[in-house]
Structure 1
Amino acid sequence: MSGTCSSFSPSEEEIGAADLQDTNTNQRKPAGWKAMPFVLGNETFERLASFGLMANFMVYLQSEYHMNQVKAATLLNTWSAASNFAPVIGAYVSDAFIGKFWTIAFGSFSSLLGMIIMTVTALLPQLRPPPCSHEGQLQGQCVGQNKAQLGILIASLCWLSIGTGGIRPCSIPFSVDQFDLTTEEGRKGNNSFYNLYYTTQTIVLLITQTVVVYIQNDISWALGFGIPTLCMLFAIVLFFVGTKVYIYIKPEGSVFAAVAQVFVAAYKKRQLNLPVDEVDGQFYNPPFSRSLLLELHPTRQYSCLNKAALIVGDEVKQDGLCENPWRLCSVQQVEDVKCLINIIPIWLTSVLGFLAMNQQGTFTVAQALKMDLHFGPSIKIPAGSVGVITLIAIAIWLPF
């Protein structure tokens, strides 16, 4: 959402000619799929690290910290809530201050620090309560964690949440920046990236909930946490290896302010009538600060918001600057807000689905701990691997 103002609206030919001269990037054409081994590799190893840490965490809290089901589930749900809210802050920091690349970088180092602390808790016995037999756990006779041990555990979760806030809101948008959306090839590559991305995440989940969970339960918690930590380190290295290939988009200001400006400007001009024919110059459509985006025109959907981009009087000065961004917004801003409104029904209907998914790591695992998970005399399914059933179903249906 551009903060500059001009009454000039570029044609598609002019936008295409500017592809290689993007003033907000590093002056080169997007590499497209050439950048994906670094970006997608970083994503894959980061997910492998985070999923490998979370998949069996309920078991870790109950078996090693002797927490009861309620306390362990409360801690996990609180951490999940913080991790899902942190991306809102991360998106703001990225858009307004440091950009997507450095937000991902800082988030990756924060996640690595959190994983190192978590691995250390599994490696050093003094950072956990003393061992207790399974019978003692069932009867509630185990010594619980002290404040210092719980504090170190919570500190690792805090760093992980901060890392999530940096990585999650920026990873996919940063990947999209690597494609030239003004070309057919770039748009096809962008669409293919989404399919490959979510397929990869499903495969990573299957690996973590089988191999990593097995290592944690039957070999060593320290090794089981150490492997995801090394994966996170490798993800950071791979991410920085591609620095000479990436396209970097500079911060363009807070998206929250830009959204608010559209509603405020549309409200102030609510008494105006929209023109029947959209003649050039009636709507404020300045040249893009990024040449990699397609030119937008006002759509009829939520047409009342179009009034925010309607030029009245001398709102655009002779030097091309806006008189007041809270009275006049660009067509790009208005259309972005319309897209945001369209996402709201999807977000609302996803709430119940994510509530059910969140139970996979708490209630489902806690119930599995009380079940007989043996198949024959030699096969035993780890409690943390019960969620594989859901992932197999997703893996089967996702290609469709």
Structure 2
Amino acid sequence: AALLDDAVSYVLANFAFFGVAVGLVVFLRQVLHQENAEAANSVSMWMGTVYIFSLFCAFLSDSYMGRYITCIMFQFIFIVGLMLLSLLSWFLLVEPPGCGDGGGLRQCAAPSRRGVAVFYLSIYMAAFGNGGYQPSVATFGADQFDDADPGERRRKQAFFCLFYLSLNVGSLFYNSVLVFFEDRGRWVAGFWVSTAAAALALALFLLGTPRYRRVRPAGNPLTRIAQVFVAAYRKRHIVPPPGDHLHEVDGEGSAIRGVGKLAHSDQLRFLDKAATATEEDYHDGNAKNPWRLCTVTQVEEAKCVVSMVPIWICSIVYSVEFTQMSSLFVEQGAAMDTDILGLFNAPAASMSVFDVAGVLATLAFSHYVLVPAAARLTKNPRGVGELKRMGAGLVIALLGMVAAAVVEVHRRRRSGAGGRAMSVLWQAPQYAVMGASEVFVYVGQLEFFNVQSPEGVKSLGSSLCMASISLGNYASMVMVSAISGVASRRRTGGGTAGWILAELDRGHLDRSFITLAVLSAVDLVVFIVFARLFKGIEPEVEGISSSPQDDHIYIV
């Protein structure tokens, strides 16, 4: 029941988030009068900031506040940001009322500097709130399962699919309801609906409080990791002994509160120097300097974080591709015929409903067909491993960029021939393919970082998934700026030559998509190399879970 409350709450929270995120590029163009490249960069910067905040907030969650309090506090900040955005749009930005519609029939008045400044304050406050909430709620949901129970371990794997499903159901609600408000210039109503959804999400989350399983924070993980590197550097001239001779505390528990002992591994052996005891470490009797001598578990925790970094870096290029669905895909769709079978006009942003459809179809296929079949073949109850799923997702995303490039080539040809504009429905395959790739990359990545992160850094591990999206957005912004900069220095036929122009028919958006496809291919090769080198963590004794011990778990 608690997980059901959490899932419905997450659906509503994502409905509220996408109520701002998906239509933001259109709002910037239609209401704030930004050009295509500037609007795309503004969205990339904002989306990147949403997820970069997740690193800071995950640190607070793991170290001091705990996941439950973190979820509540940052949901409240998110609501305040949305409320400020709604009030600002009502009184200052959307003037006259109903302006900024998708058809461009009613132009908005130029915004004041004060209005623009408060607008950015409101959306970045919402970014801070949502960025802090996302990684904590993912890990908090996973906390409700006991890794020592094989049945609960299987249900935990299904939870990550449910988590991503909830995210996309929230997006689906936006694309089937709210996007039509905004296409008709009813921005204020749309923002108020998002605010109400966020408030209801917080209320539902609080409703499940009596049934939640809560894990106490394990202390500052960054300090522990820094101690390992400092201690290893201080003993850089020492040859570490075999693993069973390294320093570890006695008893079943580790020195890290709420974290079980981790078995020694042979990777990154230079860090074992930090757990090598010398006479100098005991010169004060039993007092040990944590900046000179660390435990095996502490060293393995640091190894785990370091070994996940290459996998994380490889996911950034994918996030650049993912970002295009809320920027370049939307701008491409706006240049196409949005009439749907003569029945109604579909806003360009509403095409992301096919992304959601791709996610839902792939989740169902993966959960009911792929995983059971793979489990029977491999005798592994998890079916396909997280890294293999992520690799498959990178291949699918490459195909999505190729599909977008092909559509753009044909769109420009149709437009140049003076014929009827190409139907926006031709974007459906590229959205659906990207949706399928999300399931393999992001669900696999979320599960990978949660499973491979020791208990003391689980929120930090989940935030790495969000941070890759953040850096992907920033990288996308750099790419668009670089392309625009080159374009401004080249002129052909009296006009500006470039790839992303205000008039897309004069540009070459297809080349942007092809460039991303090439980068994706290179990234895939690098990812395969690091995936083959990766070794996961293990608890100290086989069959003993590295989940937090019972005295650090409590029900409220």
Q: TM-score, normalised by structure 2?
A: 0.59
Q: CA deviation at 1:222?
A: 2.7
Distance 1:312 1:352, change over 3 A: same
Please name the residue that 1:9 is paired with: none
Please name the residue that 2:275 is paired with: 309
Tell me the amino acid that sits aligned with residue 33 of structure 2.
H
Contact 2:101 2:184 in 1 (8 A): no
Greater relative contact order (CA < 8 Å, ≥ 6 in sequence): 1
Q: CA deviation at 1:316?
A: 6.5
Higher helix share: 2
Please name the residue that 2:86 is paired with: 119
SS of the equivalent of 1:166 reads helix
Q: CA deviation at 1:145?
A: 0.9
- The 4+ residue runs of structure 1 with deviation greater than 4 A are 129-138, 289-294, 316-320
Please name the residue that 1:221 is paired with: 187
Contact 2:241 2:276 in 1 (8 A): no
Q: C-alpha distance in 2, partners of 1:260/1:396?
A: 44
Distance 1:96 1:351, change over 3 A: same
Cα deviation code 1:25-58 (max 9, x no counterpart)? xxxxxxxxx5312333332221121122211122
Please name the residue that 2:292 is paired with: 327
Cα deviation code 1:160-203 (max 9, x no counterpart)? 12102321231122222222223334423322211221233233
Q: CA deviation at 1:137?
A: 6.3
Contact 1:119 1:225 in 2 (8 A): yes
Distance 1:316 1:265, change over 3 A: same
Contact 2:232 2:273 in 1 (8 A): yes
**Alignment pair present for 1:99 and 2:63:** no
Q: CA deviation at 1:352?
A: 1.3
Q: CA deviation at 1:142?
A: 6.3
Please name the residue that 2:359 is paired with: 394
Please name the residue that 1:161 is paired with: 127
Residue from 160, 166, 170 that aligns with 1:200: 166
Contact 1:66 1:137 in 2 (8 A): no
Q: C-alpha distance in 1, partners of 2:257/2:3?
A: 21
Q: CA deviation at 1:237?
A: 0.8
**Alignment pair present for 1:336 and 2:301:** yes
Please name the residue that 1:353 is paired with: 318
**Alignment pair present for 1:149 and 2:115:** yes
Number of residue pairs the alignment of both structures matches: 362
Please name the residue that 1:42 is paired with: 9
Contact 1:264 1:326 in 2 (8 A): yes
Q: CA deviation at 1:127?
A: 3.5
Contact 1:61 1:72 in 2 (8 A): yes
Contact 2:61 2:217 in 1 (8 A): yes
Contact 2:216 2:258 in 1 (8 A): no
Q: CA deviation at 1:293?
A: 4.9
Cα deviation code 1:242-296 (max 9, x no counterpart)? 22222333333322222111122222233333334625xx422462478865432
Distance 1:238 1:318, change over 3 A: farther
Tell me the amino acid that sits aligned with residue 302 of structure 1.
L
**Alignment pair present for 1:245 and 2:219:** no
SS of the equivalent of 2:244 reads coil
Q: C-alpha distance in 2, partners of 1:134/1:241?
A: 38
Tell me the amino acid that sits aligned with residue 119 of structure 1.
S
Contact 2:78 2:130 in 1 (8 A): yes
Contact 1:129 1:146 in 2 (8 A): no
**Alignment pair present for 1:378 and 2:335:** no
Q: C-alpha distance in 1, partners of 2:161/2:355?
A: 19
Q: CA deviation at 1:364?
A: 2.0
Residue from 239, 256, 264 that aligns with 2:230: 264
SS of the equivalent of 1:387 reads helix
SS of the equivalent of 1:326 reads coil
Distance 1:136 1:108, change over 3 A: closer
Cα deviation code 1:67-91 (max 9, x no counterpart)? 3323322322221222122112212
Q: CA deviation at 1:347?
A: 1.5
Q: C-alpha distance in 1, partners of 2:302/2:42?
A: 36
Q: C-alpha distance in 2, partners of 1:86/1:319?
A: 43
Distance 1:167 1:302, change over 3 A: same
Contact 1:67 1:144 in 2 (8 A): no
Contact 2:102 2:347 in 1 (8 A): no
Distance 1:59 1:133, change over 3 A: closer
Answer with 196-205 or 228-237: which moved more.
196-205
Calculate the aligned-residue CA RMSD, in Å.
3.0
Please name the residue that 2:334 is paired with: 369
Distance 1:142 1:217, change over 3 A: closer
Distance 1:147 1:49, change over 3 A: same
Cα deviation code 1:144-165 (max 9, x no counterpart)? 2111211221121121121023
Contact 1:65 1:128 in 2 (8 A): no
**Alignment pair present for 1:76 and 2:43:** yes
Distance 1:274 1:136, change over 3 A: closer
Distance 1:186 1:262, change over 3 A: farther
Please name the residue that 1:170 is paired with: 136
Contact 2:102 2:183 in 1 (8 A): no
Distance 1:50 1:135, change over 3 A: closer
Please name the residue that 1:11 is paired with: none
SS of the equivalent of 1:248 reads strand
